[in-house]
A = this chain, B = another copy of it.
Amino acid sequence: MRETDFVSGFARGLKVIEAFGEKTPRLAIADVSKATGLDRATARRCLLTLAELGYADYDGKFFSLTPKILRLGHAYLSATPLPQVVQPYLDRLAEEVHQSASASVLDGTEVVYIARASQKRVMSINLMPGSRLPAYCASMGRVLLAALPENEARQLLEKTSLAAFTPRTKTEPNELLEELSKVRQQGFAIIDQELELGLCSIAVPLKNDRGITVAALNIGASAASISADQMAHKFLEPLQAVANALRPLLR
């Protein structure tokens, strides 16, 4: 790519949008400048442009995003066949097993939810399409990392800050790589309260008609209602049935 093909104003603007988040819903120009590394004049121009186009509100001091910004992310969800194809299968699966079922893909070191059918809430956070979790300690993340060549998976783990969310979280790169090799062999991953105490989940790869892993599917359940050991016994078959049914539909 030639340098002249790069629209810097666009790239900077996208950075500014990403500066807004759960803990930073309202930002002043100085906040955005600090979060993005852009100088204040540039941050200010990007914010004013967002406000002018209706993607942000401005009260004279603070900027906040408006629902119009949802158009940008939703373009992916409505434009990509995968979430559309998977959703009805997840709906039926969740109803059948009385647990939440989800599908996600890998984006860098995180899994991104692309579809979800929720039943009773087990997790403290509300997951929806667009939600992200660190790949190394999520069942779908383990499945997606296991689908990569081992050196790629190792590189991603090296880039990840491996925090212990619970006393059970595996955070040693070598232990995680061993875990991935186990997942590769057995064809599924089980997480026993590594992300949140009280939460277990099981994931399988979703492969396309050429056998390439394009996403992961999972079922999450409360550790109080089912032990991690029982997860495979109870949920592996229905998960694999969905993966098998979807496989010929994914090109």
A70 in complex: contacting residue of B44, B53, B76, B108, CB < 8 Å: B76
**Residue A52 at the B interface, CB < 8 A?**
yes
| Complex contact B68–A107 (CB within 8 A) | yes
As a 0/1 sequence over residues 130 to 144 of chain A, the CB contacts with chain B under 8 angstroms (1 = contact) are 111000000000000
Inter-chain contacts of A174 with B (CB < 8 A): none
| Complex contact A12–B14 (CB within 8 A) | no
Provide the bound-state CA to CA distance between A91 and B70, in Å: 21
Provide the bound-state CA to CA distance between A6 and B5, in Å: 20
A10 in complex: contacting residue of B49, B65, B75, CB < 8 Å: B49
CB within 8 Å for A74 and B14 given contacts A52-B1, A67-B114, A79-B24: no
| Total identical chains | 2
Inter-chain contacts of A114 with B (CB < 8 A): 67, 70
As a 0/1 sequence over residues 83 to 105 of chain A, the CB contacts with chain B under 8 angstroms (1 = contact) are 11001100100010000000001
**Residue A193 at the B interface, CB < 8 A?**
no
In the complex, identify which listed stretch (A121-129, A176-184, A228-236, A239-247) lies at the interface while the others stay far away.
A121-129
In the complex, identify which listed stretch (A15-23, A149-157, A200-208, A219-227) lies at the interface while the others stay far away.
A15-23
Provide the bound-state CA to CA distance between A84 and B127, in Å: 11
Please give the residue numbers on chain A whose beta carbons come within 8 Å of chain B beta carbons, in ascending order.
Answer: 1, 4-14, 17-18, 20-22, 24-25, 44-46, 48-49, 52-53, 55, 64-81, 83-84, 87-88, 91, 95, 105, 107-108, 112, 114, 117-118, 120-121, 126, 128-132
Residue pairs across A and B with Cβ atoms less than 8 A apart, 6 shown, are A18-B72, A69-B73, A69-B75, A74-B131, A77-B128, A91-B118
List 14 other contacts, CB 8 Å, given A13-B14, A20-B75, A118-B118: A1-B48, A4-B45, A7-B12, A8-B9, A9-B10, A10-B10, A10-B46, A64-B79, A66-B107, A70-B77, A72-B73, A77-B128, A88-B121, A117-B118
